[in-house]
Each structure stands twice: as structure tokens, then as C-alpha cells.
Amino acid sequence: MTRSSSASVWTGVVVAVTTPFGTGGAIDHPSFVHHVGWLADHGVDGIVVAGSLGEGSVLSSEERTSLVDDLIPVLPERVSALCAVAAGRTAEVVAQARAAAKAGAAGLLVLPPYVYRGDRAETKAHFAAVLGATDLPCMLYNNPVAYGTDVGPEEVLELAEDHPTLVGVKESSGDVRRITALKALLGDRVEVAVGLDDAVLEGVSAGAQGWVAGLANALPDESVALFEAAGRGDHDRAAELYQWFLPLLRFDTTPKFVQQIKLVEEAMGLGSARVRPPRLELHGAEREQVLATLRDCLSRRPVLASRPRRHDRVRAPKRAKE
């Protein structure tokens, strides 16, 4: 899968990166920079900051922008620097979109409003306001389980017809038929990305061109290998990797997915399990279940063919015009 257009910033394995925090609760920027550089060196295609896994709901707008600032000088040219935008007020999301563009983001992941679950007209108006406020390629995030709003293919088509900045959908309804419906109705007008880790094989088979991935934070090599095997139609290899990976990928689909994935990162020596309240770190049986699952999977970790790292030229910071 190659990039050939603005829409293609959402193609491939895009990591919904976690946000590391120090002991005092502030963002640990040096750890973040190290982590995203390591992910880029392990072959991922994009990094999206401040999403659900990035604990975006407890980040200020200024903190979101600071994470984009961190990305730009670190990522090689081929890795897309992306930012999720979300808030309880539409005007605040519009401001976030403009700030992310000014900081140099290559695209935006646009979430529904926090807290308020609007009807179809309100949800469409929210997305329209954000899409109309930027020239960046935007991916709409559809996750009815988490956010209580379900944006169907017909609504996506309406938005895409009015707003050329809408180039993709992160589909997290859990219903793989949504991907086929989106492809049937919109064709190549939008790219579809799998939004749930434990649906990636089914999603790619249904036509998804991207994967906004969670466990890739800790296991990028296996994530890239799985996605590429599925994309090239190597069904035996994809099924083998998927069967191994599935117990870990399911951590992405529970209410405590942030805590679980951060704990996996920490156990792999890649970061800290610290989270921001109201989330609390896992303890007792919950913690041990995650670690036991990880130990079991690592004991059977698949052997991957060696391949050169794809960390190429580091780009200079690029700023939007004032």
C-alpha cells in the first residue's frame, strides 16, 4: 500500500500513541519523543496523538498542540504526524484543529463531542464545523459504543460531498459490515481504517486500507507484519500472526484499554503505566491478568523475517502561515 494523495496520510499502520506522564502528572515529553521515534524506526506509517488511547479527554488543548510540536522534528518524512481533536464545545475543537495545523500536523482525527450525545443534525453540524475550519485531510472517528453517536455511511457521504477535507473514517462500531457498506457507497472517496485492534484481519479483508492501532505501541513489528500480510493476501501468515496476537489485541476493546495497554508498554520496558485521573492504574488480579496474558504470548512470540528499518530522513519543523 503506497501513499499517493492527501488521503493516504491515513493508510497503513497508524499508532494511536499513548501519552506518558511523570510522577507529578505532567506530560513526560522526553519519554514521548523517545517512544515515537522508536515506533517510527520500527516501521509504522503514522502517529496520531491525543486520541482516546492518548487520554485526550484529560489533556488541555495546549497539551495536544505540544504533542504535535514534539512529533514534527522526530518523525521521518514518510511517517505522518497526526492529531486527534475533541472537546465538549465545537468551538474548542475548531480552535484545536487550527492549532494542530499551525504546529505542522499532516492530518486530523475528528471525534464526536465529549459528553453530549447529539442527534443526527447536531452531530453533522459539529463535524461540518470542524471539517470546514481546516485544509488538512481529516478522518472521522465513528465509535458509537464509546461516544454514543453512530455516523452511518449515508451521513459520511453527505459530509464528504460538502467537505473535501473529509478523506477517511476510523470505523470502530465493531460491525465489519460497516466497512463494506462504506466502500460500496463511497468507493475510493474516503479511506477506511480499522479502529478496533481485534477486528483488523476482518477489516482489511473487507477493504480497510488503514489500521489505527493500540497494541502497536508496544509491539510495532508484529503489528506491521500482521497488517502487511493481510494486505497482500497472505492469508496463512496473517491468520497465524492474528491467532497469536489476539489475546493482546483484545486489551484494546475494554473500558480499561488505556491502563491495560500502558501496562503492556511498561512490562516491555517501553514506558510507564501511569495514567491521569479519573483513571487509576491496575492493581491486584486485574494487573496480574494482563501480565499473565503478555507472558504467555511472549513465550510463543512469532519469528519475523528480518527487514530493514524504514527510518529515513528527518524532516525540519514545518509551520503553517500566520
Catalytic residues: 141, 170
Q: Could you give the count of Cα atoms lying within 13 Å of 145 in the half-sphere of its Cβ?
A: 11
Question: Which residue in this structure is represented by grid cell 493516504?
Answer: 8
276, burial (CB in 10 Å: exposed 0-12, middle 13-18, buried 19+): middle
d(CA 56, CA 18): 9
In DSSP terms, which residues pair with 82 in a beta bridge?
A: 48, 107
Q: What distance lies between CA 263 and its chain's CA centroid?
A: 18
Query: What is the 8-class DSSP label of residue 7?
Result: G
In DSSP terms, which residues pair with 16 in a beta bridge?
A: 48
Nearest one of 321, 322, 319 to 103, comparing CA atoms: 319
C-beta of residue 66 within 8 angstroms of C-beta of residue 72: no
